[in-house]
Amino acid sequence: MTIDGDYVAQVIAKRIAGDIVYSDDYGQALRKWREYFGVSQNEVAREMGVSTSVISDYEKGRRSPGAGFIKKFVTALIRIDERRGWRTVSQLAQVLGIPPGAVIDMAEFNAPVSVGELAGAVEGVVLAGKDNSKRIYGYTIVDSIRAILSLSGIQFMALFGSNPQRAIVFTASQTGRSPMVAVRASPIKPAAVILHGPGKNVDKLAVEIAKRDGVSLIVSLVSSAEELVSRLRSLAASNPTLHGV
């Protein structure tokens, strides 16, 4: 499995960290995930830059892990799995229904952005839902052809990440009709949809669907998908209260 922009690995890392945090026994949870990844105490200790006894102390409950330790622990497991060819992460992605292949990039914002700010960042023209009081907390960039051809309804909803108040960005879109039909069929609606590809030749039905569903529709006029990714990442980086996932 290809991990597009580390998106799948990042989502799974958060799921694991959350499982550890909400466990009644931190030590058992740490051990469970280490063993599930097939990693020894020595391996994870070396990856984290600590002694094996430190890992043992946490797993036996002699120490209580803080958020920093849990993040480093999970990151170590993910990095080790990456060197092994993503064996465990690939399995977890299938179990959790996380769509590989279609996702180009994904980020959550700590602070929201307005429709106008989002449109400005992607050299966009707002075709529906110009309300700047709407707040957007993240974005997901997908290849529209791969997404429409390969994603089930459940997998499509996985594109919303941890907050549905986000922008779903469709690249390689010819007219915008198919992406908006997919949005129309979804029980959860994004705050905004950005289309890249059709230029100003957006299908009238796509615009009508956006209006009916209360979705802000933006067409991005940047030259390439790579430029689109760069601009959205820069939007997050331009504000110290924002960060990509």
* CA–CA gap between residue 120 and residue 214 (Å, rounded): 20
CATH class of 4-96: mainly alpha
pLDDT, tens digit (0-9, with 9 covering 90-100), for 50-90? 999 999 999 999 999 999 999 999 999 999 999 999 899 88
Q: Which CATH number fits domain 103-237: 3.10.129.10, 3.40.50.970, 3.40.1390.20, 3.30.930.10?
A: 3.40.1390.20
pLDDT, tens digit (0-9, with 9 covering 90-100), for 192-241? 999 998 887 899 999 999 999 999 999 999 999 899 999 998 887 775 44
The answer to whether the CB of 92 falls within 8 A of the CB of 169 is no
Residue in this structure with the two tokens 């529709």, named with its chain if needed: 217
Mean pLDDT of the chain: 86
Give me the percent of the chain exceeding a pLDDT of 70.
85
Residue spans of the domains in the chain: they are 4-96, 103-237
Which SS3 state, helix, strand or coil, does residue 111 take?
strand
**H or E segment to which residue 125 belongs:** strand 124-128
* CA–CA gap between residue 202 and residue 199 (Å, rounded): 7
